[in-house]
Structure 1
Amino acid sequence: MDQLFEWIQSIYPEGTIKRREDKTHIQVTQKKWLSKKNKGFNIMTSQTHPEEFMTMIQGMLGFLSQIEGRNASLQEKVLIKCSTLNMVVGIETEEDISEEFFGELLRLADALDAVIFWGGGSLLNAQGQLLLDVNGESEVEDYTVTAHTSFLDGDSPESESGIQRKARSEQLLTEQGIPYNTNLPARAGDEHTTIRSKEEVARRAVALCLAALKGECLGAGESAEDTAALVQEVIDKYEAESFFSPVEKRFIDQHGAEQQEIISFSWGYEAYHVMLWALGYVKGLGTPTELCNVGKDVGYLQQKDSFTDFLSDASLRSKSEILDEADLIYRYNWVCVDSRVNDKTPPAGLNGGVVYERHRALNWLICYLDQDWDDVRTDT
């Protein structure tokens, strides 16, 4: 809210600007010879008006989702963007919005990373282009969704351990010659983080391995029947029927799978590798440039006679060790996402797929946003 006030001051350097004590209203008065014009900015945020704000956002999402958009992918991104909004600024003006005032609003929207709701239910981007109207039309083909870090990281207070961890990660990236984003915040420190229990991690490891096993077998051309029989045999051996997430359970239970599912679940070996590391079976994760050794990793589980054996031989790493890797992968993933957005090859041989799977696994380990496996985000 203070940033908003500063931006309005920069847009109207000659105006008289007053702000209400609670910061929820700003008035700009511009004097021109024999007249003066007043413009008002009413501010509602998710913190100043939580119930009203949530009602407004839900109504907005309901309205936009009912539109039959011509570009489904664009509409989905617009909906995601609106779900991340943390402030609504209502405009008050004594006359129709002139071209000059519209230009001022665009400057403000650009600074705020905002979208603009225009008359008649149209939604514009910060450049004034039509994102979506009531007829489903748009003037752009694509839209990059970004959100304020307060939405991604919540209100976890900064801590010395988090700040120091960020510094160590950035030092390592510097040594590796990898450019990084200094504006990425420090993540929650040791005192503000809960780590999954050893049994939770072991169960998740088994589930990931078995889902990846099905994907691997089907991808290699094995029949759906033989694959199902093998997977069920392993499930029975480790009494793993209850270990799967809802999405994994559907994949395991269905006959065969679509190619995209096969690929997606086969990547699960990389997340399984992280779980093995967290359980002490794998010595170090290393730089995410190469795929894990699937045969070796699967062997850690194959060599156990039961889940009890697998669990009892595991030793969960310390919270500090896990948070070190979680912070580092967070910064690696920003590099990979930035490279993809700018159509570049990730530097230093980073493998975007490996980075993504590790990021997801580590976010689950540190209970990021308290999300279950199927919902874990990899925000950067």
Structure 2
Amino acid sequence: MNYFTIFASRNDMDDIDGFIMELFAKGHTIKKNGNDYTVQTNSLFNKRKMTIRVSHESTNPAYFETNIPGMIGFYDRIPFADENRKELVLTQISVLNALIAVEAEKALGDEQLRQCMALLSAVGGIGFMQDGTLLDDDGQVIVYPDGASGPANFRPRACTGKVMGPERPSEEGERRKRASIDYIHGRGIPYLDSLPPLPPLAECQWKSQEEIARRAVALLIVIQYACDAAQGGDLAESRDFVLSTLRKFGVEDELTGNERHLLEAEEPSPQEAVNIAWQYEAYWPLIWALRLTDTLDFPDRTCDCNYAIEVVSKCDSFGEFYRSTALRSREEILNEADKIYRLHWACVNSRIHGQEAPAGMNESVVMERRRGLFWMAGCDREDWDHIPMDT
């Protein structure tokens, strides 16, 4: 294999140069010409050379206008074994706007492949193999050319520029960003100053109090089934209980595609079950926004699952639950969304460099809390299953 391509969704490419220079610093000579890099090993024997070409939609729009629709068509024609995974792949491709193309003079060796995978992880993109195999940013296969699913726990990622349009700086957004950075810096956590602010309050697509309450109840109920599926419980009994409880609260229509897929599968995927079980942490900011818990604690531990269940289980109907809620201000919600966005960057940055998340944070808690907060504020205008997790 002489070619390896990384696609990503990024607001800019400012940090790519640093990634390349760092990854190939030892044992290589690097020559840069604009956005092209020639990387050659320094060994006397078995010399290897490859070219890395970096481009972005803003600098090479013609490429993306031509090739992204073609890429969507290619994967749309593949007979995916998992239709949900196909939807995720097509969603990801639709927001791609960055390209890192690696071309080697000889077939890529083991060490060069390792370096390509490290670059893929640093960029947070998807890897495209010559035969059409797609890789997640951890090097795990998303889908094979025949449509079979790989082991990757894949979630699409989209930069703010693709989902919200070109960045429009606002004084409000900058104030919120500075407040978040002050909080993060005060805890000794690294931050990226160039990470853009979230949009101002007036530009978000806010969910109503009732929408948040219905999402919370439906999610909590289906999480119980996900926990049973992940732990190998009696799924027939669990499914009957969950379906009857959804009907009791009148929230059957609030289930997402992923949740329906889990409930309807004859043999639910353990990984899908675990993914939804983790959404206790996305449910928690929903009930915080509904004033059913007082604070959103620092994300270094999991939420109180017993209390999470109790706030719904003590009610006999959705109406009773809804009457117990009161919505926090939009400003409070967006402040927390901005903060968790920057804490997520700190987690990802540490993971890329092989370090533990700073200040004891749990990255899974951070990601799911971000899902709940971004969904309520409508920061990226995506549905619950497809909240982008770019940083």
- TM-score, L = length of structure 2: 0.66
Equivalent residue for 2:353, pick from 342, 345, 354: 342
Aligned residues of 1:152 and 1:379 also touching (Cα < 8 A): no
Give, in whole Å, the separation in 2 of the partners of 1:62 and 1:160.
Answer: 41
Name the CA distance, whole Å, in 1 between partners of 2:286 and 2:226: 19
SS of the equivalent of 1:370 reads: coil
Structure 2 residue aligned with 1:115: 101
Q: Tell me the amino acid that sits aligned with residue 228 of structure 2.
A: C
Q: What SS does structure 1 have at the residue aligned with 2:69?
A: helix
- Cα deviation for residue 215 of structure 1 reads 1.7
Matched AA of 2:218: A
Q: Does 2:245 correspond to 1:234? A: yes
Letter in 1 for 2:177: K
Following superposition of structure 1 onto structure 2, how do residues 39-50 of structure 1 map, counting pairs within 5 Å? none
Does the CA contact (< 8 Å) of 2:291 and 2:327 recur in 1? yes
* 2:263 pairs with 1:277: no
The answer to whether the Cα contact below 8 Å between 1:158 and 1:187 also exists between their aligned partners in 2 is: no
* Separation in 1, partners of 2:133, 2:248: 55
State how far apart, in whole Å, the 2-side matches of 1:261 and 1:352 are: 18
Bigger Rg over Cα: 1
- For residues 74-113 of structure 1, the aligned pairs below 5 Å read 84=95, 86=97
CA distance in 1, matches of 2:333, 2:159: 25
Question: Is this contact kept in 1: 2:92–2:157, CA < 8 A?
Answer: yes
C-alpha distance in 2 between matches for 1:288 and 1:168: 18
**1:82-101 deviations in whole A, cap 9, x for unaligned?**
755548xxxxxxxxxxxxxx
**Cα pair 1:363 1:378 within 8 Å, conserved:** no
| CA distances 1:166-213 after superposition (whole Å, capped 9, x unpaired) | 100010011111111112111111222231111111111012101211
Q: Give the Cα separation in 2 of the matches to 1:186 and 1:115.
A: 30
Give the whole-Å Cα distance in 2 for the aligned partners of 1:236 and 1:146: 33
Q: Aligned partner of 1:290: which letter?
A: R
What is the alpha-carbon distance in structure 1 between the residues aligned to residue 160 and residue 384 of structure 2?
Answer: 22
Verify the 8 A CA contact 1:363 1:377 in the aligned structure 2. no
Partner of 1:295: 306
Cα deviation, residue 336, structure 1? 1.1
Shift of residue 216, structure 1, vs aligned partner: 2.0
Quickly say closer, same or farther: Cα 1:160–1:340, change in 2 above 3 A: same
Which of residues 276, 297, 304 in structure 2 aligns to 1:265? 276
CA–CA separation in structure 1 for the residues paired with 2:93 and 2:355: 28
Alpha-carbon distance in structure 1 between the residues aligned to 2:317 and 2:375 = 24
Identity of aligned residues (%): 32
* Structure 1 contact 46–53 (Cα < 8 Å) conserved: no
Task: Describe the superposition over 1:147-184 as per-residue Cα deviations: whole angstroms up to 9, x where unpaired.
Answer: 87633653241111110011000100111111111121
1:223 aligns with 2:234: yes
User: Contact (CA 8 Å) 1:46, 1:54: kept in 2 or not?
Assistant: no
Counterpart of 1:34 in structure 2 is none
What amino acid is the match of 2:285? V
Paired position in structure 1 for 2:84: none
Give the secondary-structure state (helix, strand or coil) at the position aligned to 1:115: strand
Against the structure 1 CA distance between its residues 167 and 235, is the aligned structure 2 distance closer, same or farther, given a 3 Å change threshold? same
CA distance in 2, matches of 1:134, 1:48: 22
Residue 238 of structure 2 corresponds to residue 212 of structure 1: no
The answer to whether residue 192 in structure 2 is matched with residue 181 in structure 1 is: yes
- Tell me the SS of whatever aligns to 2:349: helix
Matched, 1:155 2:141: no
Whether contact under 8 Å (2:191, 2:342) holds in the other structure is yes
Query: Does structure 1 retain, via aligned residues, the 8 Å contact 2:191–2:346?
Result: yes
Letter of the structure 2 residue corresponding to residue 326 of structure 1: A
CA separation of 1:317 and 1:342: change in aligned 2, threshold 3 A: same
Structure 2, gaps ≥5 residues long: 1-12, 18-31, 35-54, 79-88, 106-111, 120-126, 141-155
Determine helix, strand or coil for the equivalent of 1:180. Answer: coil
**Counterpart Cα distance in 1 of 2:130 and 2:76:** 10
Q: Distance in 2 between matches of 1:133 and 1:301?
A: 47
1:357 to 368, 382, 387: 368
Whether contact under 8 Å (1:211, 1:268) holds in the other structure is no
- How many Å separate the matches in 2 of 1:234 and 1:338? 41
Root-mean-square deviation (CA), in Å? 4.1
Is contact 2:160–2:380 with CA below 8 Å preserved after alignment? Answer: no
What secondary structure, in the 3-state scheme, does the structure 1 residue paired with 2:253 have?
Answer: coil
Find the partner of 1:247 among 254, 258, 267: 258
1:262-282: CA deviation from partner (whole Å, max 9, x where unpaired): 211211211111110111111
Letter in 2 for 1:155: P
Cα offset for 1:135? 5.7
Kindly tell me the number of residue pairs found equivalent between the two proteins: 303
Offset of 1:214 from its aligned partner?
0.7
- Structure 2 CA distance, aligned partners of 1:82 and 1:54? 12
Q: Which amino acid aligns with 1:167?
A: R
Q: Secondary structure at the match of 1:360?
A: helix
Unaligned runs of 5+ in 1: 13-42, 68-77, 88-112
Higher RCO, 1 vs 2 (CA within 8 Å, ≥6 residues apart): 2
Shifted more, 203-212 versus 58-67: the winner is: 58-67
Distance 1:133 1:241 in 2: 41
CA drift of 1:258 comes to: 2.7
Note the C-alpha offset of 1:250. Answer: 2.0
1:232 & 1:330 partners in 2: Cα distance?
34
Residue 101 of structure 1 aligns with which residue? none
1:118–1:55 Cα change, 3 Å = farther
1: CA distance, partners of 2:213 / 2:158: 33
